Amino acid sequence: MRAAPLAVTALAATLLLTGCSGDGDSSGGGSAVASPSNGTTCRIAHMDVEVGPANVAPAAGDTGNIPVTLTNQSADCTLDGFPGIDLNAADSSASVPPAEGAKATKVTLAKGTAATFTLTYTRGEAGAKASLDVKTLAIGLPGADTQKSFKWSYGPVQGKSDNADDPNASVGAFTQAGD
């Protein structure tokens, strides 16, 4: 009698195929819906960006902190790495490195959720050769090739070793905002 083994095999195959349908399956098996785990990179064009309010450095040599909040206005995406920050003066610009010892984090943002990071800088002396007279702050996201620019109103930025093109500034890692 071969009917019983064939019936058991057919039943097992039917159960396996039914388990792969993805309809209402919360495990994600067989689902074609895009998810944050697919590595979709966040784009600055799809973000509402708020710069500040800042803890401004009041005088040359003082340190200031500028929080930046990014709120996703599009589909789920991922921030993986550090923000790309450029400080632009009238005739030059300088990139801001990650803070010493900072570790990049991977943050996934659903539509309407936010992440933050902090830009820390040392205020320079106005008109000094070692200070970068910053006019705009350009923000880019990791893995993307576009930036958004914002007016800089926090005074000149001191250069390291009296080199204005090497600003005494750093950027922190992304952190999830809110709950």
d(CA 54, CA 68): 9
More confident residue, 7 or 71: 71
- State the DSSP H helix or E strand holding residue 143, giving kind and residue range, or none if neither: none
pLDDT in tens, 82-111: 999 999 999 899 999 999 999 998 999 999
Q: Which two tokens stand for residue 12?
A: 């097992």
58 found inside a domain: yes
d(CA 40, CA 33): 13
Q: Which two tokens stand for residue 28?
A: 């994600």
More confident residue, 18 or 63: 63
d(CA 164, CA 123): 12
CATH of the domain at 77: 2.60.40
More confident residue, 55 or 32: 55
pLDDT in tens, 55-91: 999 999 999 999 999 999 999 999 999 999 999 999 8
Instruction: Please count the structural domains in the chain.
Output: 1
Q: Is the per-residue pLDDT at 136 higher than 90? A: yes
68 found inside a domain: yes
10 found inside a domain: no
166 found inside a domain: yes
Q: Is the per-residue pLDDT at 13 higher than 50? A: no
104 found inside a domain: yes
Provide the 3-class DSSP secondary structure of residue 177: coil
28 found inside a domain: no
- Residue numbers of the domain that contains 171: 48-176
151 found inside a domain: yes
Q: Is the per-residue pLDDT at 16 higher than 90? A: no
How many CB atoms lie under 10 A from the CB of residue 117?
Answer: 25
pTM of the model: 0.75
8 found inside a domain: no
Q: How far is CA 104 from CA 33, 40, 78, 82, 168, in A?
A: 27, 17, 13, 6, 20
Q: Is the per-residue pLDDT at 21 higher than 80? A: no
